[in-house]
Structure 1
Amino acid sequence: MRLLVVGRLSGQLASAVKMAMAHGAKVHHVERGDQATEQLRRGQGADLLMVDYRIDIAALIAANEAERIHVPVVACGVDAGPDDAAATIRAGAKEFIPLPPEADLIAAVLSAVADDDRPLISADPSMKAVIGLADQVARSEASILITGESGVGKEVMARYLHQNSRRADKPFISVNCAAIPDNLLESELFGHEKGAFTGAVARRVGKFEEADGGTLLLDEISEMDVRLQAKLLRALQERVIDRVGGTTPVKVDIRIIATSNRDLARAVSEGSFREDLLYRLNVVNLRLPSLRERPGDIPALADFFVRKYAAANGVPVRPVSADARRALTAHRWNGNVRELENAMHRAVLLAQGPEIDVDAIRLPDGQPLTGATYDAGPASRAAQTADAVTRAYVGQTVAQMEKTLILDTLGHCLGNRTHAANILGISIRTLRNKLNEYADEGTPIPAPQSGISAAVG
């Protein structure tokens, strides 16, 4: 996590900085609010600002927002009274940290505000297979497209890829293409020159330059306007960008990871997404299964969230009861991991007694998890067990598993034989022979979609 400290490094503030560094934060320092804005404008990015409460926090946040820079702020200070702390919160700070600091408080604030504590947790065979594929390609320079329903953990997978890449010591920058209006996204990505438009009071470095040397995540790229997609394609092909209002191309060295919860091949056929951009992004496709498709992950994730939110709320860690585990596994989780996380956060707060029981696990509307989504009877448990075993492919021969892996990989690559062969680590000739063999058996073979693989064979 990148931490920008704003204020004079007195003894107590310096101690807080050392504690943050001990928890993995990369720290930079300036003394004044205007220096902080200027540093962020130049592309010296930060995930969190730690600001001395005597600095005008409201003015700092306003200056950042005028430059379309949104970084959370925590205030801190020595001898600050309750009124001072309350004033910083009213000014826009997310938290107030009294100094001298406590190590546990620093760690909790960094985790809560920056939300970096999101490890990739898996126990289900279907998810482990995807992680295995991610491990194969993580150290490559290939662009990767991560697909799956909302809430399955696409950004967590993107961070996992970065952390296991050769760029792990460089920045990981994320841009949510769906959260930024079309008329602002170009400047956010590519930056702008002074005077490029009303309000452009100085040169602003965009996310491409901020990520130079590292990884740029284009989250929900399917929501990007088609006109901007053309400029993005040029940036990916030539590794140069043009700032808005600029005349000199700027070279960048980045790896691109993109995510989408939409079918991009269908978006291409509908004319809302460029086929050539999809080809450029989809060198490797990682499809994350929904939580319904990986029931083995549910107990492991539930246990992790219980520990996380028990620590965050200062309550004891209670184990999840056997009945609650069955209820969790039986629920459909249409919101996937995100929905499960929220449910376990509520359960930590509502649980009574030595265990987290079914009654403590509530849906967003406050209704208990029991009912239509859960039947603890023998027939329901048998169906759940059979479903989990089927997904784990228990009982298949090696040849059957090989066939499943080849066809699934080909499907992930939208029928592109060359990409599938590269991922599988076999020659294109071997792949074609296998596909001919499966076709002769009457097995449908995924065809190249929308002409994407025509140019590469």
Structure 2
Amino acid sequence: MQGRVLIVDDDESLCRLLALKLKAMSFQALFRTSGAAALEALQAEDADVVLTDLNMTGMSGLELCQRVAATRPDLPVVVLTAHGTFDSVVGALRAGAYDFAIKPPDMETLGMTLSRAVERHRLRQEVNRLRRAVAEGGRFADLLGSSPAMQRLFDLLDRVAESESSVLIIGESGTGKEVVARALWSRGKRKDGPFVAVNCAAVPEQLLESELFGHAKGAFTDARSARAGLFQQADGGTLFLDEIGDMPIHLQVKVLRALQERKVRPVGADAEVPVDLRLIAATNKDLETAIAEGKFRQDLYFRLNVIQVDLPPLRARGGDVLVLAQHFLQIFAARANKGVTGLSPEVAKALTAYSWPGNVRELQNCIERAVALTRGDQLVPDDLPERIRAFKSSHVVVAGDDPSELIPMEEVERRYISRVMQSVGGNKTLAARVLGFDRTTLYRKLERYGLVSSETPPSRPNS
């Protein structure tokens, strides 16, 4: 069914005829022969759109528009009017009507109008539902979402929050890995201790060792006093090592020893210092492939990956896009002191269609920009970046009915592998798992189809 249409006209025979024609177009149709009866029906039964005659005895279509707009602003009204009543049409549109059609209606045109109205109504309902979801909050304060992927994540976090075991969070850039780490800390046994975070890719390699382990006075030229490293600063709490996959391999040995011995030796110091902390690490890299390429130590990987948390990309979270968009809208509207309250249906449609390669961080930046630019109380498409307004989803086309459109099986495989690699953010281990290949086979096919430059994984991991 395309949607539920409530027909309102004081001509019962016309109501029945319209109902039959709309049912043939896959709409579910019911009718009432007065505006008052239509309002009563809307209290007992729901509809996606109201289709009303403009000139009726008793309550006019114009008054019905006004009443529906006042009590059900999310419900679109389409008015039917005879030729030569332009002023009445303008009045109905000003009263809140969504659109109009000329009597007798062209059914194909009317069907398209009603389909758009139904889509608008359902998008508005979804936006309102997601706005309520934001207000109600989630099981973890800073993690929002009701998609199956997020429910699985919440269930896992519930089980591991109070554990002392190391956690490895794996996810694409912008998915919120530090938010998850902080959620685990805030719900864990060490919530009264410090949460210390460092991005291993953001600290120069020559400084990272001192940053992590500290240094003794005189350990190097500028070491005028002793300094405690992040391991010591996190004592009694949680240390979060973000982008662990970018850590130099010679430091990986020292991190492994610190985790195993629960002791650290500051640079230039003679004695070790005991530390008691929970370690959470995160990466956007495929560590199993990095191990095969000799760029990450297998023993450290197993020490970190006691509990693995896979963070879903935003494109795999369905309607969560709108939950997060509404959340960010409220934050940025308050900061800007602007009365922006929600998303228009057209914006909701554009946001859910876009693929979000930058994940939650890209969405946050998008909404901040839109709130800054908008002039109304709702975001409209013109407030969005051009790349989102113009986005068209790509799909793998396997075959068509036309024999000339049929393609060789090799091309089908190439397109499908390309699509899978795109969907998993280039993670070769995950792509191989999805495709049912081992990594060596995947490398060979990627090279064969020119999807990446020639790469040959080492036969033995670093140990």
TM-score of Structure 1 vs Structure 2, range by shorter chain: 0.5 to 0.7
2:153 equivalent to 1:130 = yes
- C-alpha displacement of 1:151: 0.2
Change (3 A) 1:202 1:118: farther
* Structure 1 letter corresponding to 2:370: A
Q: Is 1:340 paired with 2:359?
A: no
Do structure 1's residue 144 and structure 2's residue 167 form an aligned pair? yes
* 1:214 counterpart = 2:214: no
Q: Is the CA contact 2:219–2:267 (under 8 Å) kept in the aligned structure 1? A: yes
Equivalent pairs, count: 270
Paired residue for 1:182? 205
Shift of 1:316: 1.4
SS across alignment from 1:146? strand
In structure 2, distance between residues paired with 1:118 and 1:334: 25
- Report if aligned partners of 2:198, 2:240 keep a CA contact under 8 Å in 1: yes
Confirm whether residue 288 of structure 1 aligns to residue 311 of structure 2. yes
1:287-318 deviations in Å (ceiling 9; x for gaps): 11111111221000000000011111121132
Residue 373 of structure 1 corresponds to: 392
Aligned residues of 2:161 and 2:184 also touching (Cα < 8 A): yes
Q: Confirm whether residue 171 of structure 1 aligns to residue 191 of structure 2.
A: no
Partner of 1:246: 269
For 2:372 and 2:184, the matched residues in 1 are separated by 33
Q: Which residue pairs with 1:318 in the alignment?
A: 341
The SS at the match of 1:202 is coil
1:187-246 CA deviation, whole Å, 9 max, x = no partner?
000000000001001000110010000000000001110001000000000100000000
Q: Which amino acid letter does the alignment assign opposite residue 153 of structure 2?
A: V
Contact 1:118 1:156 (C-alpha < 8 Å) held by counterparts: no
Q: Is residue 324–residue 358 contact of structure 1 (8 Å, CA) maintained in 2?
A: yes
Structure 1 residues 18-33: aligned runs within 5 Å: none
Give the SS at the match of 1:273: coil
1:193 aligns with 2:216: yes
Q: How does 1:76-87 map to 2 (within 5 A)?
A: none
The one-letter code sitting in structure 2 at the alignment partner of 1:187 is: S
Contact 1:360 1:368 in 2 (8 A): no
Task: Using the TM superposition, give the Cα deviation of residue 368 of structure 1 relative to its aligned residue in structure 2, in angstroms.
Answer: 5.6
Structure 1 contact 173–207 (Cα < 8 Å) conserved: yes
Whole-angstrom CA distance in 2 between matches of 1:118 and 1:179: 27
Q: Hey, what's the Cα distance between the residues in 1 that align with 2:373 and 2:436?
A: 50
Check whether the contact 1:359–1:368 (CA below 8 A) recurs between aligned residues.
Answer: no
Alignment-mate amino acid for residue 218 of structure 2: G
TM-score by length of 2: 0.55
Q: State the shift of 1:373 in Å.
A: 3.1
TM-score, normalised by the number of residues in structure 1: 0.56
Unaligned runs of 5+ residues in structure 2 are: 1-139, 395-428, 440-457
- Picking from 307, 314, 324, the partner of 1:301 is 324
Evaluate the alpha carbon distance shift between residue 334 and residue 445 of structure 1 in structure 2; reply closer, same or farther with a 3 A threshold. Answer: closer
Q: 1:52-87 CA distances to partner (integer Å, 9 max, x unpaired)?
A: xxxxxxxxxxxxxxxxxxxxxxxxxxxxxxxxxxxx
Tell whether the 8 Å contact from 1:220 to 1:258 is kept in structure 2 after alignment. Answer: yes
The Cα shift of 1:168 comes to 0.7
Match of 1:224 in 2: 247
**Structure 1 residue 341: Cα displacement:** 0.1
CA separation of 1:174/1:224 partners in 2, compared to 1, >3 Å: closer, same or farther?
Answer: same
Q: Which has the larger radius of gyration?
A: 2
Q: How many percent identity over aligned positions?
A: 47
Q: Structure 1 CA distance, aligned partners of 2:349 and 2:286?
A: 32
Give distance in 1, aligned partners of 2:391 and 2:348: 16
Structure 1 segments unaligned to the other structure (5+ residues): 1-116, 376-410, 416-442, 453-457
1:224 and 1:342 map into 2 onto residues whose CA distance is: 28
> Where does residue 279 of structure 1 map in the other structure?
302
| Deviation >2 Å, runs of 4+ | 372-375, 443-447
Aligned equivalent of 1:105: none
Q: Which of residues 375, 379, 398 in structure 2 aligns to 1:352?
A: 375
CA RMSD of aligned residues (A): 2.8
